Structure 1
Amino acid sequence: MGFIRVRFGVYNPVNPGDVVEVEGLVDTGVIYTVVPRSVLDKLGVKPLERRRFRAFGGYVERDVGEAGVVLMGRRRTVPVVFGEVDEIVVLGVTALEAFGLEVDVVRGSLREAELLMLLQSKVGRSPQFQG
């Protein structure tokens, strides 16, 4: 399978009207979405914490915050990594899950995922699996 490129909007949840469009790769092996720090700073998105990531055989530390993403006509808030200069924009798996999307490897695109839910009808009874 080749890489899947996707265009998506990024916004500050405090000011959802100001959206910046970016293009990046979809990577189901990456947990968080990576957006250039310059874009997040322009939108006024603030880091909430600093996290350690394994990358290229070593470790790096990056700021992490919450930003809004516009994808396929819908909006969700997702964790984002403040990408450094020359780092690739990536749409990570937490964003895909938040949007209920999955990668269609045959078509090289995103598609609606079949959403699963665990149901339990009464307290003390075994869960009922639907599917």
Structure 2
Amino acid sequence: MTYNPVSMGTFSVKFVLKHPVRSDQQLELEGLVDTGALFTQAPANLVAQIGLVASGARAVHYADGTKDVVPVAKADIAINGVETATMVLCGKPNSLILLGAVTLETLGIGVDPVHKRLIPIGAPMALL
């Protein structure tokens, strides 16, 4: 069976990828919501368009079993008027644009897979 992320119940949303310091440098992107992906990912050439520079690298493993080390940049992401700082994997050219779990949780956004939409979840906290 061939891996196809679209067949796994994913859906796309629009979001804004922003430079964390230069607010005039931003891109509106459409990416797959992927709760199985830890980090958000965009092709490195798009990340570079808004002046983001890789500040490190992360070891990743893909759903097909392959492994890689991918550059990572710090960015801001905004969805529906909510904005947060996050890490963005700088993928290869033509790589999928993914909105990962860390970004979603930091935004306080959950996934409604039945209706294929994002929903506010708030921030769960422990009460002592």
Shared fold (TM-score, shorter chain, > 0.5): yes
Structure 2 residue aligned with 1:62 = 70
Larger Rg: 1
Please name the residue that 2:18 is paired with.
Answer: 11
Matched, 1:20 2:39: no
Shift, 1:114, TM fit: 4.4
Which structure shows the bigger proportion of residues in strand conformation?
1
For the residues of structure 1 that align with 2:35 and 2:115, how far apart are their CA atoms?
16
Q: How does 1:51-130 map to 2 (within 5 A)?
A: 51-55=58-62, 56-120=64-128
Alpha carbons 1:47, 1:63 under 8 Å: kept: yes
Rounded Cα–Cα distance in structure 1 between residues aligned with 2:30 and 2:124:
29
State the Cα deviation string for residues 11-69 of structure 1 (Å, max 9, x = none). 11011222201111000010000012112111111111122111222211110111111
33, 37, 42: which one aligns with 1:35? 42
Q: Secondary structure at the match of 1:7?
A: strand
Structure 2, unmatched stretches of 5+, are 1-7
Q: Percent of counterpart pairs with the same letter?
A: 29
Unaligned runs of 5+ in 1: 121-131
RMSD between superposed Cα atoms in Å: 1.3
Q: Aligned with 2:18: secondary structure?
A: strand
Q: Kindly indicate whether the alpha-carbon contact (under 8 Å) linking 1:16 and 1:68 is maintained by their aligned counterparts in 2.
A: no
How many residues get paired? 120
Would you identify which runs of 4 or more consecutive aligned residues in structure 1 move more than 2 Å? none
Aligned to 2:25, the other structure's residue is in SS state strand
2:10, 2:113 within 8 Å by CA — same for their partners in 1?
no
The TM-score, its normalising length taken from structure 2, stands at: 0.87
How many angstroms apart in 2 are the aligned matches of 1:51 and 1:99? Answer: 22
Q: 2:51 aligns with which of 44, 52, 55?
A: 44
